[in-house]
Amino acid sequence: MKEILKNKKVVAGVMAAVVIIGATGTYAFYKTQTETVANTFKTGPIKTEIEEEFEGSVQPEATVKKTPRVKNTGSLIAFVRVRVFPSPDIVDYVGSAENNEVAEDKIGLLSGEWSDRAFNVATCQNNQYKSLLGRDENAIYGEPDSESEDKIGWIYSDGYYYFNRPIKPGESTEKLFSGVKIGKNVKDNFDVTVSQESVAASKYKAVKVYDLEKIKSEFEAAEKNQD
């Protein structure tokens, strides 16, 4: 029987200060509530968790380091998908990633590399990759891997970002994004919540990239088993 493991991490940004709130919760056959209610209903072999670095001054026109990825801490190969819940929803999904620009009253979730405190937006000659996290179902999000012939990364569909390769035990996905660019007219507090779900992928090869519909079918089958 398939199972889906879910959890989430919340980062709260306050303009003059940063509050980091870590909350995990899993549903279906493995469920752990937030740290204030730690009831385990049933454990399972699929164990994945969000890991990230977070640092920087949360203020207008700044780029804050936030690097969510999912690590497989269990014993089975797994497919992973994530969701991003900004509150309020002020994410710019269509800004100019090439110039590290977002709308003045929004935030942008960007892929790239950090050198000390300097952030360099990821670039790629292949336009299939996009460094500004968006909702284009024909794009691959994340950092382009020049050493791989396969296009490894995140693909958006139906509110989720699916990592297109199974994750082996002990391995992590690529970062969903690496920086939060804050528009100069963002004055109010905001939260960015990242949740993740995983499902067993034992019949797949961990070194291979798979079609989105095939990955989605594994989650759909697991969801049906929950009913």
Average pLDDT over residues 90-104: 78
Beta bridge partners of 154: 141, 163
Residue range 128-158, pLDDT digits in tens: 678 889 999 988 898 766 556 678 899 999 9
For tokens 């969903």, what's the residue? 176
Question: For position 44, what pLDDT does the model report?
Answer: 53
Q: What is the mean pLDDT of residues 23-50?
A: 45
Q: Where are the alpha helices (DSSP H) in the chain?
A: 212-226
What is the distance between the alpha carbons of residues 157 and 106, in angstroms, rounded to a whole number? 22
Domain boundaries of the chain, sorted by first residue: 4-226
pLDDT at 18: 30
d(CA 82, CA 69): 9
Closest listed residue to residue 166, CA positions, set 220, 223, 219, 221: 219
Average pLDDT over residues 83-100: 81
Q: What is the pTM assigned to this prediction?
A: 0.80
* pLDDT per position as a tens digit, 214-227: 999 999 998 887 66
Q: How far apart are CA 131 and CA 97, in angstroms?
A: 6
The 10 Å Cβ neighbour count of residue 38 is: 9
How far is Cα 15 from Cα 59, in angstroms, rounded to an integer?
5
**Do residues 79 and 163 lie in contact, with contact meaning Cβ atoms separated by under 8 Å?**
yes
Q: Which residues, at least 6 apart from 106, have a Cβ–Cβ distance to it below 8 Å?
A: 90, 91, 92, 95, 183, 186
Give the pLDDT of residue 32: 27
pLDDT at 11 over 60: no
Q: How far is the C-alpha of 3 from the C-alpha of 136, rounded, in Å?
A: 28
Q: Is 64 exposed, middle or buried (0-12, 13-18, 19+ CB in 10 A)?
A: buried
| Contact (Cβ atoms closer than 8 angstroms) between residue 108 and residue 102 | yes
CA–CA separation, 188 vs 60, rounded Å? 10
Instruction: Look up tokens 């569909």; give the residue.
Output: 157
- For residue 6, give the nearest of 60, 49, 52, 68 by alpha carbon: 49
* Alpha carbon separation from 53 to 8, 34, 56, 124 (Å, rounded): 15, 20, 10, 24
Higher pLDDT pick, 51 / 126: 51
